[in-house]
Structure 1
Amino acid sequence: MSLIEGVIFDMDGLVLDTERLGYEAYLRSARKFGFQVNDRVHMYLAGRTEPTVVAGLHELYGDEHDVQTWRKDILAEKRKVLEEHGGRPGKKPGLLELLNYLAERGLPHALASSSSRDQVKSLLSSEHLCHAFPQMVTGDMVTRSKPDPEIFLDAAALLEASPNRCLVLEDSAVGIKAAVAGGFIPVFVFDDISAEGRVDGDIRVRIPLDNPHSAGSLARYAPRDLSGVMGIIEALES
């Protein structure tokens, strides 16, 4: 009997290079609105559903600032940035190798993304990956956002996999926390966007934020990229 019964993928920043494009949108919009934005802010917000992103902005900057208008501008900038890249965010390193490996091994896998189903399908289609994830759970299919494990538990149910025999591949802190809370095998693939810069606006972050690298301390494994997941599976099966 195989130890690993399934693999669950996050999408943004893990399957697709959307977080880098999204961070560029944050930076552009922050310059216009005067908000402080850096990679710690990005990691704090990454992996959330849209309503909890807005709630996170209120936590970061205070209720007296119009974060909802700012958020609308960020989303508009995201669309512009994606258009500038030809509508294609790009695949993350090691993705195709890992998908081929899972197919060869007959290991079932699913996608569990906090983005909406329409967004997920559109982005996967742009990279010709719709066929790669026949099983998926999206943010508009759950009632609780990460770090609640609901989305991963639903994905595991689709795979008929036990959480403790299922890898969850994540690049966000809330995603890793959700995997731990659900009893999964958490794998952190760090999506480092620190080189993209920062904006030190007058509207400052009001709460202490963790170093983005620290999410890896919560995970059981932290490979350099998705190709490293194959070695993890081989080691667990040996």
Structure 2
Amino acid sequence: MGPFQAVLFDMDGLIFDSERMCYRAYLRTARAFGFQMNPALYMSLCGKIEREVVADLKHAFGEDKDVVTWREYIKKQKTAVRMEQNGRVGKKKGLLELLSYLQERNIPYALASSSVRSLIDEYLEAEYLTHAFPYIVDGTQVENGKPDPEIFLKAAGLIGADPANTLVLEDSYAGICAANAGGFTSAFIFDDLTNMDSVTEGYPILDQPVGNREKIRSEAVLSFDSLADVVGFMEVLR
């Protein structure tokens, strides 16, 4: 494995501590509409574009459930939770160090997030990172969301990167699979939600996914405890 010539970042749960915030919105919605929710189901939805999240929720709870209404409520609750945090989402450990390293070494990088651009911009502004990512691909710019590699291939094209020499940093199973499918080197950084609550009453989960660290790590080429560890790894490869 030689030096990486470019790096692609996911957003939620990878550079921002936004998955915990989002999961709290799911828990509130589950209690309001009467359906079960747990970290494994939530983690199986992470990294996917809107229509695929809706499809997966229908698969989990049944085609007769009005999951579109649930999703609208979830989005409102995400905003509510963030406002309760003074509008902040929280930067992940090592993010600023890694961005500084890439800039100092003139290594191109881009953000590839399944979220919509308006939300991406809100998060970046909230964490004073408005100009930190000059190249961004959002979920509305692709036909196929993760685990399809389209979003990473598009992001790589923006910065002129060869997938074979590009590191993709991800925290979701869908994202790791997308990176692998695109010929990138996938790197898993676990965003641990397992200590959070579950809702065990209401509409049952018909097909319980397996969403855990071991499953995702088994698919990833590399694994790090935090973004801070990526700097040392890349420097050793130089």
Same fold (TM over 0.5): yes
CA offset at residue 53 of structure 1?
1.0
- 8 Å CA contact 1:109–1:135 kept in 2: the answer is yes
Does the 8 A contact of 2:98 with 2:228 survive in 1? yes
User: Post-superposition shift, 1:173?
Assistant: 0.6
**Which letter maps to 1:199?**
V
Tell whether the 8 Å contact from 1:6 to 1:167 is kept in structure 2 after alignment.
Answer: yes
Number of residue pairs matched? 236
TM alignment of 1:111-122, pairs within 5 A: 111-122=111-122
Gaps in structure 1 of 5+ consecutive residues: none
Instruction: Report the Cα distance in structure 1 between the residues aligned to 2:42 and 2:233, rounded to whole angstroms.
Output: 28
TM-score, scaled to structure 2: 0.96
Spell out, residue by residue over 1:67-121, the C-alpha distance to the aligned partner (whole angstroms, 9 max, x if none). Answer: 1111111111111101101111010111011111111111111000001111111
Is the Cα contact below 8 Å between 2:41 and 2:208 reproduced in 1? no
Which position in structure 2 is the counterpart of 1:204?
204
Q: After TM superposition, which residue ranges in structure 1, 4 or more long, deviate above 4 angstroms?
A: none
164-173 vs 204-213, which moves further: 204-213
Render the CA deviation track for 1:204-227: whole Å, top value 9, x for unaligned: 111131132111111111111101
Indicate conservation of the 8 Å contact 2:60/2:208, yes or no.
Answer: no
Q: In 2, are the aligned partners of 1:30 and 1:201 still within 8 Å (CA)?
A: no
Secondary structure at 2:82 match in 1 = helix
SS at match of 2:223: coil
| One-letter amino acid of the counterpart of residue 177, structure 1 | C
In structure 2, the partner of 1:193 is 193
> Normalising by structure 1, what TM-score?
0.96
- Listed as ranges, the gaps of 5+ residues in structure 2 are none
The equivalences for 1:45-56 within 5 A come to 45-56=45-56
Residue in 2 that maps onto 1:142: 142
Q: Is the 8 A contact 2:41 2:211 kept in 1?
A: no
What secondary structure is seen at the aligned counterpart in 2 of 1:187? strand
Report the Cα distance in structure 2 between the residues aligned to 1:211 and 1:128, rounded to whole angstroms: 32
Q: How do 1:74-223 and structure 2 match up within 5 A? A: 74-213=74-213, 214-223=215-224
Aligned 8 A contact 2:44 2:211 in 1? no
Could you tell me how far apart the structure 2 residues matched to 1:82 and 1:51 are?
Answer: 23
Aligned residue identity for 1:231: G
1:158-211 deviation per Cα after TM superposition (whole angstroms, max 9, x unaligned): 111110100000011100000000010000111001112111122111113113
Are 1:227 and 2:228 matched, yes or no?
yes
For residues 181 and 232 of structure 1, what CA distance do their matches in structure 2 show?
A: 23
Mean alpha-carbon deviation: is it higher for 200-209 or for 99-108? 200-209
Percent identity of the aligned residues? 47
